[in-house]
Structures are given as structure tokens and as C-alpha cells.
Amino acid sequence: MPDNETAALSSGLRMSVMRLARRLRNQRSAELGLPLAQLTALATLDRNGPMSPGELADCEHVSAPTMTRVLAALTDAGLVAREAHPSDGRQQIVSVTPQAHELLEADRRRRDAWLATRLSELTDEERAALAAAAPVLARLAEG
């Protein structure tokens, strides 16, 4: 059981991170017009490169049938390309199309610009504290 100080840090950090994530999501362009499951699958493919639908389902922590539906919608929208698996003829490899990559990059640039503007409003000390905390937050997010 965590001590009171750790419990208070946990609660405050959770609320702050969730609010920041929500604010960043709100900066997402309406032109993407994709449900969250499709958007996160597309972003994972863009970030990690081509993979099988099963690998993508594992990365996204969803079932294979759910990922099949997500990929069908993304393929129909022209945002995902499919090709034969190089060593297993029963499988396919999926990847983002150039159109999808550009949509995601524009969205990331827009959200980065919003966050950079907010960071510029902070003091040098506050920015230094966030710079020091960023690797720790990344480590927390991994586990």
C-alpha cells in the first residue's frame, strides 16, 4: 500500500496527465473524422511500420475480429494498404498509405504547435522541470 505522499502524487499526476491528454485530443483535426480505434491503429502502424493484423491487434490490445473490422474500414477509406506476407501465404501485412501518413503528420504538427504555445507560456524553471520529468513519464507509460 503506498504511503499518503505517494498516493497524493499518484492522484494529482493521474488527473493532470488525463486532462492534458484530453486537451491534446481536442486539438485533433475534425478532418480526420475517424473513430478512436481506427485512429490509434493507424497511428500505431505509422509509428511502428508494417505488420500483420494479429501483431497490430496485440499492440492495440484488441481481439483479432475487432482489428479485422478496424482494418476493413481503414482499407475502404484508402488509409491502409495490404500485401502478402513474405513468408506466410496465409497472412497479410498492413501498412499506412502515403495519404494516411500525411494526415497523421499534419495532425501531429497541429497538436505539437498547440503544446509548444502552451509551453512557451511557462517559466524557464517550469519548462526545465517538464524536460526532466519527460523521460520519467515515458518510463511510467511503458509499464
pLDDT by residue (tens digit) across 65-96? 999 999 999 999 999 999 988 887 788 999 99
Grid cell in block for residue 129:
522541470
Q: What is the pLDDT of residue 34?
A: 85
The CA-CA-CA angle for residues 55, 61, 110, to 5°, reads 90
Mean residue pLDDT of the chain comes to 91
Inter-residue long-range contacts of 72-76, CB under 8 Å, 24+ positions, other chains counted: 73/38, 74/38, 74/41, 74/42, 74/100
List the CATH number of the domain containing 59.
1.10.10.10
Q: Please, what's the b/e burial string for 71-110 (b: 16 or more CB within 10 A of its CB; e: otherwise)?
A: beebeeeebbbeeeeeeeeeebbbebbeebeebbeebeee
Would you place residue 30 in the very low, low, confident or very high pLDDT band (cuts 50, 70, 90)?
low
Q: Give the tens place of pLDDT for each residue, 102-136.
A: 999 998 999 999 999 999 999 999 999 999 999 99
pLDDT for residue 32 is more than 80: no
On the question of pLDDT at 2 being above 80, the answer is no
- How big is the chain, counted in residues? 143
Q: CB–CB of 115/24 below 8 Å?
A: yes
* pTM (whole model) above 0.85: no
- Type of residue found at 92: Q
Give residue 87's pLDDT.
Answer: 83
Give pLDDT, residue 1. Answer: 64
Asked if residue 29 has pLDDT above 90, the reply is no
Overall domain count for the chain: 1
Residue 120's domain comprises 4-142
